[in-house]
Structure 1
Amino acid sequence: MRSNANKNIIYSIILLLLVAIVYLYRENQKKPTEQVVELSTGKISFSGNTMGTSYRVVYLDSEERNFKTQIDSILIIVNESLSTYIPSSEISRFNQNDTLYFDLPYFLPVLEESKNTYEMTAGAFDPTVGPLVNLWGFGPGGPQLKDSVNVDAMVSLVNFAAIQFDDQKVWKPRSEMYLDFSAIAKGYGVDVLVDYLSNQGIEHMLIEIGGELVARGLNESGELWKVGISTPDEESPNDELFGIIALNNQGLATSGNYRNFYEVDGVKISHTINPKTGRPVRHGLLSATVVAENCMKADAIATALMVMGTEAAIALQNQKGGFEIYLIYNDENGQIKSYASEGMKPYLSFTVN
């Protein structure tokens, strides 16, 4: 009898261990989007306008502090450094002269990240493409189609490798060369706001400028922040989603040609200009979403991928790594398809196809 009792005790212990093992296994197999904790803290949300678009800030703070005034002030200063639409900004003064000595702390980090992305993408990302952006009508002057002779002449001015800088100044070999940070400035602006709120002790936040964003920590439900990827069709509503991505302390940026364009004689003129040809891109890639460690990097890479096209974008991510991609494109039959890199898939909770 004692032997049977001992056996029952042993079997019970083994059963409990098996239950515990199965439970732990299932917990470890959960997707990141399923990991939930409870957060009891105040939610603060506000929005405004900046960089020719809008911004939105959401964060959790037990003290329920509202930093909108400070955020607006920071964004004004960032624009005073990086906006080509402000004649007195640092970048405007550089474009009007040969050399700029930095007055503000924002120009140098953008130059450094621009150089990194320029080299990684073999020139697909090039902030000196500004004259061509303006020529094709996507700068301060508005849409106007120029003839091909002007375009060919401008290509010689596109060469970010010729831009030199150190920690005090930036200079160029030809005064006609022109910098345009529109493909990276919004992402950097998001990073600047993240740094500010982090320094105020904010751990959980979602910050967005014109669709480029950063998520830190968890939302008020204790889950990873989730963001939608719009359907790449100019006739679709802005809130019609093609996919949803959860962000695990990352930056996200999406670049696409399906909304920012104009037509001339029935031909769509895309705002994405190929720095090497000087002309708008024409390929099947509709939108490129990039997730990276910060938003500035994601913003720059997303622009480069739209220049490169679907196959080259996939090849670059496979070769270089350090970022994840979600591409929406037209296949050879004109059907909309999507591609997610391996590191993106666990965070992609919904897609149309």
Structure 2
Amino acid sequence: MTFCMLRPVRAALVSAFLALAVAALAGCSFEPEEKVWEISGPVFGTSYHINVVLTEDPERLETLAGGIEDVLEGVDASMSTWRDDSELSRFNQREDQSDWFPVSAGLFEVLQKAKEVSTLTEGAFDVTIGPVVNLWGFGPQARPEQTPSEEALAEVLSATGSDKLELKSEPPAVRAVPAQYVDLSAIAKGYGVDAVARFLERQGVQAYLVEIGGEVRVNGRKPDGSTWRLAIEQPVSEGRQVNRVVALESRSMATSGDYRNYYESEGRRYSHTIDPETGEPITHNLASVTVIADDCMTADALATGFNVMGYERANALAVRENIPAYFIVRTEEGFETHQTPAFSSYVTQ
């Protein structure tokens, strides 16, 4: 975990996938000058970069850095499928899940949102698809030596479905019949961003940018009064290129694509994104989709659901629901971009 003051730069772009360079205020003042400070570290198999607008106060920065680390450790201890002792893993390990299993408020919130987005996307977002993800080698288990057979896929797929998860709020609990393996990797990172944002607000931080592995939430403005600017990445596996830049204030943004996490076997490319309807990696021409929402958990889940649906279905749903979404589609000539009317107001270049 580290923290530092970001050095002043000229016309800096804030990237949702890289460490973020921010323009600082110029001039003199007798009042304490606010600057942008970065707190960063590893988490969830990736990294976090958090920018806070504060006057110089090393003790406060130390307190914030320690608190952020505690918040993220709490999310990991609750929702990780890579930890056998996590709250979620303890539920997944139960052979009989027909009795109510008490869960924390945070885990309940994520499961509730997951079911909501599953309904909205007609099952394209499904947190019970974990066993199928594992079968293809994208879960905590080792990658298989060969792709799964049709029979194995059909057997595992028939037992999954978000509709098999039942929730109750008082007290928070979950149960499932038949037993399910729940994988929250497509929503928990967004929730982690939201959890850090809520912590910062409780600590009196009014302006911030929270980024975990490319999922972002911002609030307030930078010291010079400008909004936070975020780059949408070109969906290529080699290098980092900017496709579009957006300006956000008090909003969240998440991107889902098939260009980073995949493997190749016998000349075929297998995306880590699994279609819950077929049980197979997606094969359509939607390379990436970016979604803007009030909270990052929603943006994260919707981006994954839209990525599964493909451009035509996802765009129709986003337009109907007035969801800001940006699509990058592969064509024979290269990449083609599309945005919903609700997205247009955020684009700066």
TM-score by length of 1: 0.84
Identity among equivalent positions (%) equals 36
Q: How does 1:1-353 map to 2 (within 5 A)?
A: 40-62=33-55, 64=57, 65-66=60-61, 67-97=64-94, 98=97, 99=99, 101-102=101-102, 104-144=104-144, 145-167=147-169, 168-175=172-179, 177-235=180-238, 237-238=239-240, 240-321=241-322, 323-331=323-331, 333-350=332-349
Query: Separation in 2 of the partners of 1:251 and 1:202?
Result: 17
**Contact 2:103/2:173 (8 A) holds in 1:** no
**Contact 1:226/1:247 (8 A) holds in 2:** yes
Equivalent residue, structure 2, for 1:3: none
Q: Which runs of 5+ in 1 are unaligned?
A: 1-35
How far does residue 46 in structure 1 lie from its aligned partner after superposition?
1.4
Aligned CA distance change for structure 1 residues 341 and 38 (closer, same or farther; 3 Å): farther
CA deviations on 1:29-69 (whole Å, 9 max, x unpaired) are xxxxxxx9979413221111111111111011236321111
Aligned CA distance change for structure 1 residues 63 and 102 (closer, same or farther; 3 Å): farther
CA deviations on 1:165-200 (whole Å, 9 max, x unpaired) are 11221001112x210000000000000000010111
- SS of 2:159's equivalent in the other structure is coil
The residue type equivalent to 1:274 in the other structure is D
Aligned CA distance change for structure 1 residues 157 and 220 (closer, same or farther; 3 Å): farther
Query: Separation in 2 of the partners of 1:101 and 1:161?
Result: 17
Query: Separation in 2 of the partners of 1:334 and 1:267?
Result: 21
**Contact 1:37/1:223 (8 A) holds in 2:** no
Query: Separation in 1 of the partners of 2:104 and 2:175?
Result: 16
Query: Separation in 1 of the partners of 2:111 and 2:181?
Result: 13
Q: Which runs of 5+ in 2 are unaligned?
A: 1-22, 27-32
**Contact 1:37/1:222 (8 A) holds in 2:** no
**Contact 1:93/1:100 (8 A) holds in 2:** no
How far does residue 221 in structure 1 lie from its aligned partner after superposition?
2.7
Query: Separation in 2 of the partners of 1:122 and 1:251?
Result: 23
The residue type equivalent to 2:226 in the other structure is E
How far does residue 320 in structure 1 lie from its aligned partner after superposition?
1.6
CA deviations on 1:87-111 (whole Å, 9 max, x unpaired) are 0111101111115633533111001
Per mean C-alpha deviation after superposition, the further-off stretch among 55-64 and 268-277 is 55-64
**Contact 1:232/1:286 (8 A) holds in 2:** yes
**Contact 2:231/2:244 (8 A) holds in 1:** yes
Aligned CA distance change for structure 1 residues 135 and 252 (closer, same or farther; 3 Å): same
Query: Separation in 2 of the partners of 1:63 and 1:194?
Result: 20
Query: Separation in 1 of the partners of 2:66 and 2:107?
Result: 23
**Contact 1:94/1:100 (8 A) holds in 2:** no
**Contact 1:143/1:262 (8 A) holds in 2:** no
Query: Separation in 2 of the partners of 1:275 and 1:121?
Result: 11
CA deviations on 1:230-278 (whole Å, 9 max, x unpaired) are 111112x13x111111112101000000111000111000001000110
**Contact 2:103/2:174 (8 A) holds in 1:** no
Aligned residues: 310
Per mean C-alpha deviation after superposition, the further-off stretch among 280-289 and 218-227 is 218-227
The residue type equivalent to 1:157 in the other structure is A
Q: When you count helix as a share of all residues, which structure comes out higher?
A: 1
- SS of 1:106's equivalent in the other structure is helix
How far does residue 162 in structure 1 lie from its aligned partner after superposition?
1.2
Query: Separation in 1 of the partners of 2:103 and 2:232?
Result: 37
Query: Separation in 1 of the partners of 2:268 and 2:333?
Result: 17
CA RMSD in angstroms comes to 1.7
The residue type equivalent to 2:117 in the other structure is T
Equivalent residue, structure 2, for 1:30: none
Query: Separation in 1 of the partners of 2:85 and 2:108?
Result: 18
CA deviations on 1:266-311 (whole Å, 9 max, x unpaired) are 1000001000110011011000000001100000000001100011
Per mean C-alpha deviation after superposition, the further-off stretch among 284-293 and 338-347 is 338-347
